[in-house]
Structure 1
Amino acid sequence: MCHGGWCFEEITERLRGHGHRVVPLTLTGVGERSHLRHAGANLDTHIEDVTAVLSAENIHDAVLVGHSYGGMVITGAADRAPDRVKSLIYVDAMVPGNGESCWDLASEQEHRWYLDVVESGDAIRPLPFFDPRATSHPLASVLQPLRLAGDLAHIRDRTYVYAAGWATPSPFTAAYERLRADPGWTTHALAGGHNLMRDAPAELLRILLEAADLGTGARQHADPVR
């Protein structure tokens, strides 16, 4: 939320250095695309941001990586473009089911933040400690429920990376605890704050490389905090 594809810059360059094709996305109405917010950007818009790139760039066997709110987006994109997505990686992110919204999965602390809207009432203000490039985020995207056509059974590999270093109680702990008990998921816990691409880039890079390079479907649980 509030950020752009540029927040993955270090990870992007490292992945490219390993020979991977990487396409960081900035969602409609956010960051350098904030001028498009008033067109009515919502969760469906953000899902289409991803599926449109997959189609236009003729991408298949994609590994979609979603951070925080981005978990909503990659889940929807995998459902709507099943022939183009191989794996999903949730980086301290929402893991929604059919009919759930970001609001439904957020804590009261996040609710208070979401209600701090700009004067026009259609967007959430960035928090004071965010990257200076961060902008307001379309409110409709966190309120709209996700509608799934299937159960994502076509996804071969699902990974959850939990940030264990929150200064306050993490809103993602319940999801992590649930998924680490699920044999259909690979889980990791890293000793960093919510922005793991900044706090634990080397460890996150290793996880992304494993997911992209192996793709074997073998499940592993690497939960000890690093």
Structure 2
Amino acid sequence: MATFVLVHGGGHGGWCWGRLAPLLRAAGHDVHTPTLTGLGDRAHLVRPGIDLDHHISDILAVLEFEGLSDVILVGHSYGGMVITGVADRAPGRIRHLVYLDAASPADGQSLTDIAPALMEFARSTIREVDGAELVLWPVPEMGRLYGVTDPDDLEWMQNRLTPHPLETFVQPLLLINEAAMRKIPRTDVVCISELSAIEGAKEGRSDGAQRVWEIETGHDLMITEPEAVAEMLLKVAAL
């Protein structure tokens, strides 16, 4: 049995793994799908000061309080920023890193550095609520950004998206244990459809990855192709 921790991307929550997680559990694996502070079912906790470090701490707390080790840590989109930070802070708990069409930062990079086109769009959506700058407000055209085109999928997703704290996107990731983190085996799953929200992150995405697998679908691959993604993750679990 493998232990998976699945970390969602911007504007999403643990809900986005609702089609993928059952497939991994049916294969006998332990699966955790935490929601980052200020998003999804934790949107009521949004406030000024929620940054990338805060989200890294969210996942570190899951590892600590659930007593998890030998973890296959999976990040989607912005979640790639988070899992890189988690692996840097707790490399001894991580067995494998999987980047699902995700940002892969170097030391000192923010999502703004990696995906400037996405960030230009995000900044165009800024609204301030109680002192917190929020972006990616859920509007109908967000389906195109996330690569979801099926009407039923769009409706299911649209009702669950929440705005995202801007500070998490603009804070640089500072690595403190990079040498150990870079030794962790890594697999990248890259969406090759034109429907990708993080096109600017594809350059250099395979740096350090032992495997780079491609999938013909849009950016929210866990929603549009859960069976194919599960098949890839089960291959990682079998390594």
TM-score bucket of the superposed structures, by smaller chain: 0.7 to 0.9
Letter in 2 for 1:163: C
Structure 2: runs of 5+ lacking an equivalent: 1-9, 144-156
> 2:135 matched to which residue of 1?
124
1:171 to 200, 220, 235: 200
> 2:236 matched to which residue of 1?
211
RMSD, aligned CA? 1.8
Deviation (angstroms), 1:153: 3.6
> 1:200 matched to which residue of 2?
225
Which deviates further from its counterpart, 50-59 or 162-171? 162-171
> Structure 1 pair 99/168, CA: closer, same or farther in 2 (3 Å)?
closer
| 1:97 partnered with 2:106 | yes
Deviation (angstroms), 1:168: 6.5
> 2:190 matched to which residue of 1?
162
Aligned counterparts of 1:167 and 1:60: Cα–Cα separation in 2: 35
Letter in 2 for 1:30: L
Aligned counterparts of 1:168 and 1:84: Cα–Cα separation in 2: 31
Q: TM-score, normalised by structure 1?
A: 0.86
| 1:58 partnered with 2:48 | no
Aligned counterparts of 1:29 and 1:19: Cα–Cα separation in 2: 31
Aligned counterparts of 2:163 and 2:209: Cα–Cα separation in 1: 35
2:121 to 112, 116, 121: 112
* Native 8 Å contact 1:196 1:204 kept in 2: yes
| 1:23 partnered with 2:48 | no
Q: Could you give the per-residue CA deviations for residues 159-181 of structure 1, whole angstroms, max 9, x where no partner exists?
A: 100001123782233134xx1xx
How many residue pairs match? The answer is: 210
> 2:146 matched to which residue of 1?
none
Aligned counterparts of 1:24 and 1:100: Cα–Cα separation in 2: 26
Q: Could you give the per-residue CA deviations for residues 31-63 of structure 1, whole angstroms, max 9, x where no partner exists?
A: 111111115211001000100000000000001
Q: Whose RCO is larger (CA < 8 A, sep 6+)? A: 2
Deviation (angstroms), 1:110: 3.3
Aligned counterparts of 1:71 and 1:13: Cα–Cα separation in 2: 22
Question: Percent identity at matched positions?
Answer: 39
| 1:48 partnered with 2:57 | yes
* Native 8 Å contact 2:116 2:200 kept in 1: yes
Letter in 2 for 1:50: I
* Native 8 Å contact 1:54 1:60 kept in 2: yes
Structure 1: runs of 5+ lacking an equivalent: 215-226
Aligned counterparts of 1:183 and 1:80: Cα–Cα separation in 2: 18
Aligned counterparts of 2:49 and 2:98: Cα–Cα separation in 1: 28
* Native 8 Å contact 1:91 1:162 kept in 2: yes
